[in-house]
Amino acid sequence: MRTTYRVLAYLIAVGVAVQAATIAYALFGLGRWIQDGGVLDKATMESEGAGFDGVIGFAIHGINGEMVIPALALILLVVSFFAKVPRGVMWAGVIVGLIIVQVALGIVSSAVPGLGLLHGLNALLLFAAAIAATRLKDTGRHRREAAEPSSDRTSAV
């Protein structure tokens, strides 16, 4: 279970990296398209759609951020209760909390673009938390406690 915990945490970190890459791909493609004379407005999006390199980045960013990463985080939280990784439940909870904030900021930032700054900052915090969760080590004390039966440790005289 410890390996499963670590793999899930790595997958979340990779998912955050994919988020950064796909949104950059989409925005750079959109910028190039506009520089080449493309026009982006509501009518274009609703009628024919914007056909530019990188448009798929928006879809991947949305699906990955609203479905894939949250699902991985929920699985990580469940696994954390069984993995017996020191502070594993705490870090899984932190990751779930950051993802809730991240999704909320992503949704609200459409109406309040300034919150997009917090969306980007929170993504960095989420990435750091996921990496921290991959680096949790069994201290040895937990291994000894699990191996030794609990007993009263009084010295016999």
Q: Report pLDDT digits (tens) over 64-104.
A: 999 999 999 999 999 999 988 999 999 999 999 999 999 99
Tokens of 55: 């448009």
Tokens of 59: 């879809």
- pTM check: above 0.95: no
Tokens of 87: 């502070």
The total of structural domains in the chain comes to 1
Residue 11 in domain: yes
| Residues 6 or more apart in contact with residue 13 via CB below 8 angstroms | 127, 130, 131, 134
Residue 16 in domain: yes
Would you place residue 40 in the very low, low, confident or very high pLDDT band (cuts 50, 70, 90)?
confident
Residue 146 in domain: no
Residue 147 in domain: no
Per the prediction, the chain carries an average pLDDT of: 87
In Å, what is the CA distance from 129 to each residue of 80, 147, 148? 14, 30, 32
Residue 148 in domain: no
How far is Cα 51 from Cα 2, in angstroms, rounded to an integer?
A: 45
Residue 112 in domain: yes
